[in-house]
Amino acid sequence: MGEQEKTSVMFVCRTAPYGTIFEQEAIEAMVMFGAYEQDISVAFVDDGVLALKKGQDPSLLGKKNFSMTYMILKDDFEISHIYVEKESLVERGMSESDLITEVEILDRNALRQKMNEMKAFLPF
């Protein structure tokens, strides 16, 4: 049997961390999809960019800090690309230096092009 072609999947993280269970569910799903050797990308847009902000301390909310997980996703779980929408950063007064891990910053149109190349989306 030949090698099966990988399916390109993009997780789209739009919600702020810690206010919902979306971030935790997204991370668990990324790990699960990574185990099946899919071509996985993650895009952070809107309030989702806040998940990558340095210096988070959600302990006052009684929540775990998931931001450190994004530092290992690319290497340990074979995430192909981590994209951040430039406009979402700017709208929240952030820049690349505010982020906890290396990402590819794309403007809205370039990110939309990347999305059009995907076979499947998983919004969080």
Q: What domains does the chain contain, in order, with CATH numbers?
A: 8-123 (3.40.1260.10)
- Which residue bears the tokens 């779980």? 77
- Which residue bears the tokens 């971030």? 23
Contact 42, 81 (CB under 8 A): yes
Better pLDDT: 61 or 122:
122
pLDDT, one tens digit per residue, over 26-57 is: 988 998 887 777 889 999 999 999 999 998 88
Tell me how far apart the alpha carbons of residues 54 and 113 are, in angstroms, rounded to a whole number.
28
pTM of the model as a whole: 0.88
What is the helix (H) or strand (E) element at residue 70, kind and residue range? helix 69-76
Tell me how far apart the alpha carbons of residues 87 and 21 are, in angstroms, rounded to a whole number.
25
